[in-house]
Structure 1
């Protein structure tokens, strides 16, 4: 069958099958990586800062737990630090808040009421939480806690998009927070007294429930603020861990460096192997003006 006179149209009757392609024009419209946008190294490093911040908070929590368990940290000190951090973080969120001033007073009163309810509920449940896993071996507790923190890190919301005023939390973010709080509760059940349990769980609520909110609000801040904030969290987690174990602190530092600097470099290196082919065999996409 001669291909003379063939046109790539469907509205005109032609003596060719519908899937016919001219042999000389088959590869003329071939496109490779049409939607490819090359990554650059330093913007990727900045985008990895939320991941580094989250991992640093997990390492900080583990260091605080060990200090409480070994009685190297007074639970009352942690309690006052948590209370001061709550008010400081709340003030910072108010400064970075997108809500208008008309609904500000009801929103603040609702926040204060919710905070008091959580505070009183944790205080009342502390004796129960301390004996929650009394019949469970410590090895099972460590393994369960590690799995829950791993799930928390995998499901956390690391997006750098500007948060909407009344946006709903993603399901993965809620699951991530629940995993972290559950891990904190099972770890707190290994502490010696009720005050230590209460202080640690309150500290966990701030780190894994309230801190992600402030982290998203900080996305509108200048890049210098985000870098300093990330560096501060990394230094705090490292300083708290070094007196406990130098080897563990070295592992923490290696993980943070790998996530922040090595992983972006690997992604930049691997993008040269991207090979997406588009051609006339793909489903037609209408072009609308």
Structure 2
């Protein structure tokens, strides 16, 4: 199922790139866009899986904070507040509000397949 999802996502990304490329002025520009899209969408997830690590994330945020602090104190504190809001407060709010979720059932839901043995009341009847 994971492979099917990855293939579907890749196909959707390439389809989007083709739709955008059809609006470009020359075949060369369309080719470049499709080539870049293929590289990003095919190799990007592999590269991100290799470099995704906590120490790299901490180092990147630290360097970003240092550079923003050198630029402006206001921009630095805005960045820190937005980072704390998006990565701290929003997930906490999402988890807290789950109990208020209203689940609406309808014909758009997936079908629930029941086991034949459960319908007859015993597993030994088969």
TM-score w.r.t. the length of structure 1 is 0.24
Bigger-Rg structure (1/2): 1
Larger RCO of the pair (alpha carbons < 8 Å, separation 6+) = 1
TM-score w.r.t. the length of structure 2 is 0.49
